[in-house]
A and B are shown apart, each in its own frame.
Chain A
């Protein structure tokens, strides 16, 4: 049987075989076929504004350096010396004229070209490599940096398709369209497959169970202060309470997927501060500044967009309203690392970013009240799936009732449909089966 037929047997319309989460051979194939081909989110232009500004990250398991080149374009270099293989750039960020390997001092310029080699006379003439491997395709959508390890494939806009609207929402909300990564980066790991995170972030049926403890204590928290006199953590308490919304709310929020496995869910908040900031002086000032740039009508339209989480398959999840973005790095079939970034709207009142920070700490941070319960459950899933006694993972919520809309968009019959996981696996199978 051909490998693609074997793969197709693992992914059926309403169930997948457990081995897609546990088989190291499938993981290896994913790194080549999925992470080696798809456009991956690497970060944001604010992380590398000026020539020489760089930051390190990963594309799947490839260590890379994202750098602003002298011509103003973004370059992505594989962080691996052409000589003996050490990473030439320590993990982190900074500004560099050259990247110098710590082992034998080979140095590379901002385009990755080899500049200087100590003991150069010791090598055969004409045999020295040209430089670092350059990631072949880099593209930017509204300030967000993407790259693909494959030299061929569709362009970024086609890849994103209708999911572009989520990035538009993210950027349009910022007065002047100016966003910057700020406030520190949370990094956490879990002993589970990378797909488990992406299968969780649009799941409206889990908060009532996974987050029961934080919902309960948030309901017992002091009432939020009057406008202008809030506790710094009110916004996070409101979010935790909102996770306890009734089933009818979750079913009604809306859930959409694209042919590339991306997905987005409607907002489930009915909370005045989170959605419209009614009566909150900082939010009113923010709204005024937004409208000063784009006009009242457009500001009104922007603030009425109700998107919650968006997933860009296969490596990113973000919350446009709260300016949180997570990138997942697969490490092994049962190990993943997640980096969580907060964004500041440069021209919004300072309080708006303080809310973002407080929200990040409590909801998405490493010491979070909410995330920690998700991580525990991911690890329990991985342990359960290691059992050979049962083969299948059932993804049947809403199956058979999905609704096809324009541009390849598919909507779940309800907001709690597992349509987004089925869409992820459809995309997965296409990537994995492609010769």
Chain B
């Protein structure tokens, strides 16, 4: 994989999110994926310090399901 491929992949991922193709976005992740948005700068650990998001593949899937729920108020689609 060369740098252009990586760049194109990131554009692809962002486009899926921007266009609300959440299920297709989810498919980008392998079963052992961790989606981690740390809370603190230089945060080393997701278990002893809180995170904005710290999801495994199962939680990511549930997040997408939540966004699709008709009463997900914070996720207007």
Pair from one complex: yes
Residues of A within 8 A of B (CB): 182-184, 186, 209-210, 212-214, 216-218, 220-222, 231-233, 342, 350, 353-354, 357-358, 360-361, 365-367, 369, 372-373, 375-377, 380
Q: Are B66 and A367 in contact (CB under 8 A)?
A: no
B12 close to A (CB within 8 Å): no
For the side of the interface on B, what is the size category? 20 to 34
Check A184 against B49 for contact (C-beta < 8 Å).
yes
Task: Choose from B37, B50, B75 the contact partner of A360 (Cβ within 8 Å).
Answer: B50
User: What residues of chain B lie closer than 8 Å to A366, measured between beta carbons?
Assistant: 39, 52
Q: Does B28 contact A (CB under 8 A)?
A: no
Complex CA–CA separation, A231 to B51 (angstroms) = 16
B54: chain A residues at CB < 8 Å are 358, 361
Bound complex: CA of A353 vs CA of B48, how far in Å? 7
5 A-B pairs with C-beta separation under 8 A = A183-B49, A209-B71, A216-B66, A342-B50, A357-B49
A-B contact count (CB 8 A): 80
Collect the chain A residues with CB atoms within 8 Å of residue B50's CB. 183-184, 186, 342, 357, 360-361, 365
A330–B48 Cα gap in the complex (Å)? 30
Given the interface pairs A353-B48, A372-B74, the reply to whether A184 lies near B62 with Cβ below 8 Å is no
Query: A220, A350, A361, A375: which contacts B62 (Cβ < 8 A)?
Result: A220
Given A182-B48, A220-B65, A222-B58, 19 other A-B residues pairs in contact with their CB atoms under 8 A: A183-B48, A183-B49, A184-B40, A210-B73, A212-B69, A213-B66, A213-B70, A213-B71, A216-B69, A217-B65, A217-B69, A231-B56, A231-B58, A233-B59, A357-B49, A361-B52, A365-B39, A367-B53, A373-B72
Picked from A222, A231, A354, the residue with its CB within 8 Å of the CB of B48 is A354
Are the C-beta atoms of B48 and A221 separated by less than 8 Å? no
Q: Does B6 contact A (CB under 8 A)?
A: no
Complex-state Cα separation, A82 to B50, whole angstroms = 37
Q: Which A residues touch B48, using CB under 8 A?
A: 182-183, 350, 353-354, 357
- Closest Cβ of chain B: how far from A280's Cβ, in Å? 17
How far apart are B39's CB and chain A's nearest CB, in angstroms?
4
Question: Would B47 and A373 count as touching, CB distance under 8 A?
Answer: no
Main secondary structure on A side of the interface with B: helix
| B→A interface (CB under 8 Å) | 37, 39-40, 43, 47-54, 56, 58-59, 62-63, 65-66, 69-75
CB neighbours of B59 from chain A (8 A): 233
User: Closest approach, in angstroms, between the C-beta of B12 and any C-beta of chain A?
Assistant: 23
Q: Residue of B at shortest CB range from A187?
A: B39
A217–B40 CB distance below 8 A: no
Q: Which residue of B lies closest to A366 (CB)?
A: B52
Contact at B69–A375, with CB atoms within 8 Å?
A: no
Quick check: A361 and B72 within 8 Å, CB to CB?
A: no
Complex Cα spacing A357 to B69, Å: 26
- The contact of B71 among A182, A186, A212, A231, by CB within 8 Å, is A212
Give the distance to chain A from B46, nearest Cβ to Cβ, in Å: 8
Cα-based distance from A351 to B69 in the complex (angstroms): 32
Chain B residue at minimal CB-CB distance from A214? B66
Which B residues are in CB contact (< 8 Å) with A184? 39-40, 43, 49-50
B39 near A213 (CB under 8 angstroms)?
A: no
Closest Cβ neighbor of A375 among chain B residues: B74
* Bound Cα distance from A425 to B63, whole angstroms: 37
Q: Cβ of A367 and Cβ of B52 under 8 Å apart?
A: yes
C-alpha spacing A218/B58, complex, angstroms: 11
Tell me the smallest distance from the CB of B73 to a CB of chain A, in Å: 4
Instruction: Report the minimal beta-carbon distance from B55 to chain A, rounded to whole angstroms.
Output: 8
CB-based contact B73/A377 at 8 Å: yes
Give A361 to B45 CA distance when docked, in angstroms: 13
Chain B residues closer than 8 Å to A231, beta-carbon distance: 56, 58
Please report the C-alpha to C-alpha distance between residue A217 and residue B75 in the assembled complex, in whole angstroms. Answer: 14
Name the residue on A nearest B53 (C-beta).
A367
3 closest Cβ pairs, A-B complex = A213-B69, A213-B72, A372-B74
- Asked if B52 contacts A365 (CB within 8 A), the reply is yes
Q: Which residues of B contact A210 (CB under 8 A)?
A: 73
Contacts A216-B69, A367-B52; A373 near B40 (Cβ below 8 A): no
- Do B74 and A354 have beta carbons less than 8 Å apart? no
User: CA–CA, A220 to B59, complex, Å?
Assistant: 11
In the assembly, what is the distance between CA of A294 and CA of B62, in Å? 42
Closest to B76 in A: A376
B40: chain A residues within 8 A (beta carbon): 184
Residues of A within 8 A of B71 (CB): 209, 212-213
